[in-house]
Structures are given as C-alpha cells and as structure tokens.
Amino acid sequence: MKAIEITHPGPPDVLKVCDRPMPQPKAGEILIKVHAAGVNRPDVFQRMGNYPVPPGASDLPGLEIAGEIVEGDLAGSDFTVGDMVCALVPGGGYAEYCTAPLKQCLPIPKGLSAIEAASLPETFFTVWSNVFDRAHLSGSETLLVQGGTSGIGVTAIQMASALGHRVFATAGSDEKCRACEELGATRGINYRTEDFVDVIKKEAGREGVDVILDMVGGAYLGREIDCLADDGRIVLIALLGGAKATVDLGQVLRRRLTITGSTLRPRPVEFKAAIANKLLAHVWPLIETRAINPVIYKVFSLEEAAKAHEMMEASIHIGKIVLQVR
C-alpha cells in the first residue's frame, strides 16, 4: 500500500511517500480502506521527534481516519464488512489502509462525507474527555477555549454551545474571532490586541468562567487563574507556550480551583471506548441535525502531506486540515 512516512525527525519535507506492507488486524481490530485522514498538531510533534509512538502502534503518522471496513474482528458490534466508519487510531492514518481498534470506531454521521468524518475523531474524543469528563462542564457553567480556531477550538466551541453553555474563545485576529462567534462563541477575544483576563472579568459574569480548555500553558496559566470563577477548573491538553508556569497557589486554596490535564493517545482502548459511546449518544445526534458541523479549512491529497503540515505550522487555518486518500 501507499503511505506517508517520517524519514527522520525534521521539517515538513521529511514526510515522503513510501510503499508499506498491508497492516494486519489483531484481535479486537478491523482493517479500514482509508478514504481520508485528519491532520493534527500531534502529527507535527511526532514528525519533529517530540511525540513518541506508543508501544505497538504504527510509526506512520495519522490519528484519525474515515473509510470502509475491509475485514477484521467485528464480534459484538453492529458493523459489517463494507460499512463506512470513522475511527480514532494510535497511528498509521496517513496510508491507504489502516487498522483500528473496533471499540474506537464510530459510524459516519448521516449526511457527512468521508472527508468531513475524518475530521471528527481526534478533536471530538479529546474535547469530550477533557471538557466534559475531566473538567465536568455542566449545568449553566461557562467555558473559555484558548485557540478557538484550531481543530480542537472549533470542536469545543460548537460542542459546548450546542449543549447549552456560554463559550468564550481566544484567537489571533479579528477575522478568527468572528469565526469563533459564528460557530457559537458569545465573544471572540483577539489575544494580540485584547487582554483575555479583562474581557472575561467584564463579560463572563459570576466572577469569571467555570472551565478553561488550555493548549498553551506557560505564562497563560497564572492569567487563567485570575479569570476563573470560584471552584473553577483548568484542563491542559498541550503546552505550546511552555511547560513552566508561576501560579498563585493562594487562589487555588482559597477559591477551590483545580488545575488538571491529560493526553489521549497513550490511554487504553477501553478508556477511549467509553468516550466513543458517549459521543455516539450525546454528540452524533447533534452532528446529524447540523447543530454541530465539521469545519474543513483545506483538503490535500495524501501525497501533499508535507504541504498540509506547512499549513498547520503556519497557523493560518480555521478548523481542520484533511488528507484525501481515495
């Protein structure tokens, strides 16, 4: 099969087309004929040598795919050979064929193309796991999303908004802030020209937001504490701004604040299966009624994976970048 491999750690041009043997599904896995694969920031980190591949996973990049079931262990599922599915995978998505744990597969929502479906798993699993399971966003609580026009950002804005929450989001231009608001954010905050702490304190009410989804870390953490409501939670999913931070622990004590975080890729299949079940029950119906929509910024061919990574690193995109395989 044709695939894209990382020839050695480095810039986007280290991604090269190669021929690889067809992967063989193990117990609990299926083989998928890939129609499209999502491009995500972890793929970039892996290409640069900064994101180790979990034991037993493919060394090929790619964490989410959509395509046709070819064969595999379908026991206990409603799937059959020939069904179209999307899947969260531990690696190997940049290829014509990819294996996936059966329990991490979901039916393609009605009305969506394979390209649209390939943009869903990585960000939807991540947002649900962190915002709803880990940070427990609920009731009338409010959410601040850092990086509102990233793949994670457009997912978090839409998901939280569709489930009845007020959402604030930061972005790097007025155009991107407008995009956040069109997706459901109450207010897009241009972090280049505005102080998100001041905006939140003025507009969020209840002394701040209840939950912050943070992919920046670093110097942002102390400022985020300043705009949390009492009993507020910060959940970290990336450290684009650095791994070190100075925080006011007195506020954490006095106001009962929580700072937590997680990475999804190394977690076991059963953990991800539980998320898949919740997405199917609570979020897939919202996609099928178009209360939540895939946001595709650009589609590249599989052979253009290096160009896709260049765009990802330039951070000009709003939403998801996808590779079309078939």
Dihedral through CA 264, CA 114, CA 284, CA 177, nearest 10?
70
Query: In this structure, what are the phi and psi dihedrals at residue 90, rounded to the nearest 5 degrees?
Result: -80, -5
Residue with token string 């253009």: 304
Q: DSSP letter string over 98-112? A: EEEEGGGEEEPPTT-
Q: What are the tokens at 240?
A: 């684009």
Q: What is the CATH classification number for the domain harbouring 33? A: 3.90.180.10
Question: ∠ CA 121-127-128 to the nearest 5 degrees?
Answer: 90
Convert the pLDDT of each residue in 182-228 to its tens digit: 999 999 999 999 999 999 999 997 689 999 999 999 999 999 999 99
Range of the domain at 146: 124-261
Q: pLDDT tens, 21-63?
A: 999 999 999 999 999 999 999 999 999 999 999 999 999 999 9
Number of domains in the chain: 2
Question: Which of 223, 238, 261 corresponds to the end of one domain?
Answer: 261
| Closest CA relative to residue 151, chosen from 182, 125, 186, 114 | 125
- Note whether 161 and 144 are same-domain residues: yes
Mean pLDDT of 99-128: 98
Asked if the model's pLDDT at residue 326 lies above 90, the reply is no
Closest CA to 209 of 221, 217, 200: 200
Do 105 and 74 fall into the same domain?
yes
Domain boundary among 239, 261, 283: 261
- Mean pLDDT score of the chain, rounded to an integer? 97
Both 166 and 244 in a single domain?
yes
Q: Is 71 helix (H, G, I), strand (E, B) or coil?
A: strand
Could you give the CA distance from residue 158 to residue 49 in angstroms, rounded to a whole number?
32
* pLDDT, position 84: 98
Q: Residue 101: is its pLDDT beyond 90? A: yes
- Domain stop point among 261, 277, 299: 261
Give the per-residue pLDDT at 2. 98
Per-residue model confidence (pLDDT) at position 308: 98
Does the pLDDT at position 118 exceed 90?
Answer: yes
SS3 label, residue 114: helix
